[in-house]
Amino acid sequence: MNLEQLLDTVPAYAKDLKLNLSNLLQQPELTKQQIWGTAVTSAVTARNPQLLAAITESAAQHLTPEALEAAKAAAAIMGMNNVYYRFQHLAENKKYGTIPARLRMNVIRTHGIEPVDFELFCIAASAINGCGVCIDSHEKVVRDKGTGEDVILGCVRIASVVHALATVFDAA
């Protein structure tokens, strides 16, 4: 089932989500790679198989194979990092923050796409996973590289709607 067909199955109570996604996939402040990479990262992070398949199929028309793989890699690495760094942040014992992570994170440097785009994908995954430490860290990187709030929030909007759609499809 393609994305349009899947969105046609959205129940009436979630019609706003369907309309929002259609609009957000055309945001003029974001590049196609930012839009579709964020959608893929968000779908992987949200973990609904139907939505992931439909978004990935549509994204393949707009992304290079490297960008599609980088979007998935962002979701994977942030799935690990968000748990680890959220634990450090939430734990009362601040000594955890002084101990080396000893977790491989090479993909953050070897993803093969525009670094700002990968960082935006990481922000989207971190927003879904609720890791403030990772949100702050990746947001600082993209802001230091000149990315404006409108681009960052554009990606977070996509993440929020994709996550909400996954919730609706999981409940069906």
pLDDT tens-digit map of 69-87: 999 999 999 999 999 999 9
What would the 3-class secondary structure string for 87-156 be?
HHHHCCCHHHHHCCCCCCCCHHHHCCCCHHHHHHHHHHHHHHHCCHHHHHHHHHHHHHCCCCHHHHHHHH
Structural domains in the chain (count):
1
Contact 41, 74 (CB under 8 A): yes
**Residue 131 among the catalytic residues:** yes
pLDDT in tens, 25-39: 999 999 999 999 999
122 is catalytic: no
Domain that holds residue 30: 3-171
Under the banding of pLDDT at 50, 70 and 90, the label for residue 172 is: confident
Q: What percent of the chain has pLDDT over 90?
A: 99
pLDDT band at 55 (very low <50, low <70, confident <90, very high): very high
Catalytic choice (134, 142, 151, 155): 134
pLDDT digits (tens, 9 = 90+) for 146-160: 999 999 999 999 999
User: Rounded to a whole number, what is the largest CA-CA distance in the chain?
Assistant: 50
Write down the catalytic residue from 131, 158, 159, 165.
131
The CATH number of the domain where 54 resides is what? 1.20.1290.10
Tens of pLDDT along 96-115? 999 999 999 999 999 999 99
Averaged pLDDT of the chain:
97
- pLDDT tens for 138-148 read 999 999 999 99
Phi-psi region of 10 (alpha: psi -120 to 50; beta: other; left: phi over 0): beta
Question: CB burial class (10 A; 0-12, 13-18, 19+) of residue 98?
Answer: exposed
